[in-house]
């Protein structure tokens, strides 16, 4: 395809995004990204729910968890920056899937930790995945949202992040005394792994990313229409 046709295709697709109503396709993207954010919020705060129990079981001073909490946020900073750059290079979809897989896998590994250092390292690596996932879902929703609704849709999606932490509180209060602190992380690891199947099947690539990268307009139209 030569001449002005690619430009016209890009203009048409970009215009279609801006003029599109908030229909089932855009809502499905917001819901999928919100599901990632929800589990992100749950896994972010999971360590705070189990810290008192681990401190007693491992005979750790409570102040030791300050460094473990900090390690998580250091990892999240690294993940947001690293996965953000990778998303600009390889696309939002594969990086969202990869970062979700990362925090799910390291959540599953958390019950295998046995001392301060092993828990510190696993929480650092979990944070990398969590930071990458959250930054990518924000980009995905923003890029599929018409400008007139962008702030609203991103805010609705992001609201799932603190909701995940809120849900984790009463869930952990039930799970810990009945099944052990390890189960809190098993829930936080199995749920993202299950979600990966849905993301792989239903999540399109960002159409704006495809346009910037000069993808085949037919592929861009498929991503725009679902």
Over residues 127-138, the pLDDT tens digits come to 999 999 999 999
DSSP letter for 203, please: P
Q: How confident is the model at residue 18 (pLDDT cuts 50, 70, 90)?
A: low
Q: How confident is the model at residue 207 (pLDDT cuts 50, 70, 90)?
A: confident
CA angle 137, 133, 127 (to 5 degrees): 150
As given in the structure block, the two tokens for residue 83 are: 């996965």
Residue 219 counted as domain residue: yes
Predicted local distance difference test score (pLDDT) of residue 206: 85
Predicted local distance difference test score (pLDDT) of residue 16: 62
CA 219 vs. chain centroid, Å, equals: 24
Predicted local distance difference test score (pLDDT) of residue 214: 63
Residue 25 counted as domain residue: no
pLDDT above 70 as % of the chain: 85
Give, in order, the Cα–Cα distances in Å from 127 to each of 28, 77, 216.
26, 8, 35
Residue 216 has pLDDT above 70, yes or no: no
- 30-33: which pairs have CB atoms within 8 A and are 24 or more residues apart? 30/141, 30/153, 30/156, 30/157, 32/198, 32/199, 32/202, 32/203, 33/96, 33/137, 33/138, 33/140, 33/141, 33/157
Residue 147 counted as domain residue: yes
- Residue entry with tokens 């005979």: 59
Is residue 135 within 8 A of residue 33, CB to CB? The reply is no
Predicted local distance difference test score (pLDDT) of residue 54: 96
Residue 29 counted as domain residue: no
Give, in order, the Cα–Cα distances in Å from 3 to each of 6, 7, 8, 60, 212.
7, 8, 10, 68, 18
Predicted local distance difference test score (pLDDT) of residue 25: 87
d(CA 186, CA 217): 42
Tell me the pLDDT tens digit for each residue of 154-187.
999 999 999 999 999 999 999 999 999 999 999 9
Tell me the pLDDT tens digit for each residue of 58-107.
999 988 999 999 999 999 999 999 999 999 999 999 999 999 999 999 99
Is residue 108 within 8 A of residue 190, CB to CB? The reply is yes
Predicted local distance difference test score (pLDDT) of residue 212: 72
Residue 72 counted as domain residue: yes
Residue 48 has pLDDT above 70, yes or no: yes
Whether pTM > 0.85 for this model: the answer is yes
CB within 8 A of 14, min separation 6: which ones?
208, 211
Q: Which domain holds residue 162?
A: 5-18+35-225
Residue 222 has pLDDT above 60, yes or no: no
Residue 28 counted as domain residue: no
Residue 134 counted as domain residue: yes
Predicted local distance difference test score (pLDDT) of residue 209: 81
d(CA 25, CA 144): 10
Is residue 107 within 8 A of residue 43, CB to CB? The reply is yes
Total structural domains in the chain? 1
Residue 26 counted as domain residue: no
Residue 182 belongs to domain with CATH number: 1.20.1250.20
Predicted local distance difference test score (pLDDT) of residue 13: 60
């Amino acid at each position: 395809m030569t001449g002005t046709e690619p430009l016209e295709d890009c203009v048409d697709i970009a215009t279609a995004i801006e003029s599109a109503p908030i229909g089932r396709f855009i809502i499905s993207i917001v819901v999928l990204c919100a599901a990632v954010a929800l589990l992100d919020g749950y896994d972010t705060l999971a360590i705070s729910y189990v810290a008192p129990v681990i401190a007693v079981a491992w005979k750790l001073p409570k102040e030791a968890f300050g460094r473990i909490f900090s390690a998580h946020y250091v990892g999240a900073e690294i993940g947001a920056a690293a996965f953000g750059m990778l998303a600009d290079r390889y696309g939002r979809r594969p990086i969202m899937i990869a970062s979700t897989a990362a925090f799910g896998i390291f959540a599953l590994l958390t019950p295998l930790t046995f001392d301060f250092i092993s828990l510190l390292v696993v929480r650092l690596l979990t944070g990398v995945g969590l930071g990458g996932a959250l930054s990518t879902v924000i980009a995905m929703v923003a890029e599929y949202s018409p400008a007139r609704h962008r702030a609203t849709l991103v805010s609705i999606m992001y609201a799932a992040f603190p909701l995940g932490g809120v849900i984790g509180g009463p869930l952990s209060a039930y799970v810990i005394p009945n099944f052990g602190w390890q189960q809190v992380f098993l829930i936080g690891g199995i749920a993202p792994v299950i979600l990966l199947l849905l993301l792989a099947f239903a999540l399109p690539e960002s159409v704006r990313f495809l346009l910037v990268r000069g993808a085949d307009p037919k592929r861009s139209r498929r991503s725009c229409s679902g």
